[in-house]
Amino acid sequence: MTIDNRCNMTGRTIEATRQPGESQIRYRVLGLAVLLAAITYLDRVCISLTAPAMMRDLGLSKVEMSIVFSAFTLAYALFEIPTGWWGDRIGTRRVLTRIVVWWSAFTMMTAGAFNYGSLLLVRFLFGGGEAGAWPNAARTISRWFPLKERGTAQGIFFMGAHLAGGLTPLLVTAMLTVMGWRTVFLILGIPGLLWAVTWYWWFRDEPEEHGSVTPGELEKIREGRGVEVSQRLDRAGWRRIMTNRSLIALCGAYFTQSYSFYFFITWLPTYLENARGFTATKLGIFSGLPLLMSVVADFFGGVTTDRLSVRYGLRIGRCGVGGGSLLLAGIMLATGTATSNNMLAVILISLALAFSNFLLGASWGTCSDIAGSNAGVVSGCMNTAGQLGGVLSPIITALFVQRYGSWSAPLYLSSLLYLGGAVCWLFIEPRQQILGEVSIDRGREA
């Protein structure tokens, strides 16, 4: 199946019919974005499966390996906002090309690590190069999709990420039976390079610049953007962004979501093996189960936030989905941790991650709603907060297990954080753009 065919299938998921004279180029853009998301998680999740072999070959302890995990995330957090701002300034065509080429190269360079220091350096540079991928994808969606389709588009985007993340354990487990971990990293760097060539050749930053976009589709995109405040960021603009109550609360909620998420893509295989007794094939299947469940949650979360926003307004459509998702995630994670039945525990813990990912369309949709023309910066702020949670999660988990000899304590902490994130959504106002007094509600009158 060609890229265009896959993209057209993605487009039909959002909108079954199209108006006469309306092209579907925005759906092809989304298709390429979905492939981008899939490749990022293919590369990210890989290391959680290769970690035991890497620790053995390089002589690393659990705490040292957790610092390696966090080195990637720390660099990702440090460069997230600058790279999001860069995409706002020069466009996502060039910026995403640079990002993907960089991280693909460092995925392959991971194979050359020869000790703790070299692995730490490679993973830090890997994270710095990948920073900004999500904010620039969010900006792309904000430029190519009308407001009422953004949540669904973001949900489909994350479907690609989590489907790849869910299948990666099976893929990497199979690869490790016939090759070493170094060869695995060399092979997994190739898809990103192919994607970067395709993106730079075909994509354009604005719909108006793409020769295949018809007037009908262009009109639909323009009319559906709502009123945007376009303002070049000066010192006052940066201050308003960084002190905005909605964005601060959004960052807090996303911190709690990402903190727990990073447990799933770093220590979950080790937890399932040491605390729940799963081995071999079962380990590969159940390591990917939370992300596979998240694929369904991504899509329905995006559709739900858009439909509720159209019918009841952005406040209910975004905040209701975001807060409710984290509330259910906290309950599921605590219950799964407490149960002694290993199979039931895996199902409940997987559901916890799925519920936490149900909010992704609402979270990233809110960034586009309140950002105006600065979607890269605003979504970069939110994702930076998430990456800070990702920095802390592997290290705190390892320290808790080392200190208490149990995996329950770090999981209960994640459950409490989910509940705190649900409270944060009470303070988010998605109807108000940060740089301006523009109400962008799309309630029942839409």
Residue 102: per-residue pLDDT:
94
pLDDT in tens, 175-203: 999 999 999 999 999 999 999 999 999 99
Residue 8: per-residue pLDDT:
45
Nearest alpha carbon to residue 384 among 77, 14, 31, 34 = 77
Residue 444: per-residue pLDDT:
44
Nearest alpha carbon to residue 38 among 179, 124, 156 = 156
Residue 226: per-residue pLDDT:
59
Amino acid identity, position 34: V
Angle between helices 342-357 and 321-338 (to 10 degrees): 170
Q: What is 23-223+241-427's CATH number?
A: 1.20.1250.20
Amino acid identity, position 305: T
Residue 223: per-residue pLDDT:
78
CA angle (154 as vertex; 266, 140 as ends), nearest 5:
105
Distances in whole angstroms, Cα of residue 419 to Cα of each of 54, 278, 318, 416:
35, 29, 17, 5
pLDDT along the chain (446 residues), means of 10: 43 45 86 93 82 93 87 88 91 96 94 95 92 91 89 90 82 92 95 96 94 90 66 80 95 95 84 81 76 89 93 94 97 94 91 94 91 86 90 88 88 96 96 69 46
Query: Following CA atoms 366, 146, 200, 374 in sequence, which dihedral angle do they give, to the nearest 10 degrees?
Result: -40
Residue 332: per-residue pLDDT:
96
Residue 229: per-residue pLDDT:
53
Residue 304: per-residue pLDDT:
95
pTM surpassing 0.85?
Answer: no
Q: Assess contact for 421 and 253: CB atoms under 8 A.
A: yes
Beta-ladder partners of 439 = 432
pLDDT in tens, 218-227: 988 887 665 5
Per the listing, tokens 């998921």 go with 13
Nearest alpha carbon to residue 71 among 121, 108, 106, 27 = 121
Buried b (16+ CB within 10 A) or exposed e, 337-352: beeeeeeebbbbbbbb
Residue 395: per-residue pLDDT:
86
Query: Following CA atoms 168, 172, 173, 174 in sequence, which dihedral angle do they give, to the nearest 10 degrees?
Result: 110
Residue 333: per-residue pLDDT:
95
Residue 10: per-residue pLDDT:
42
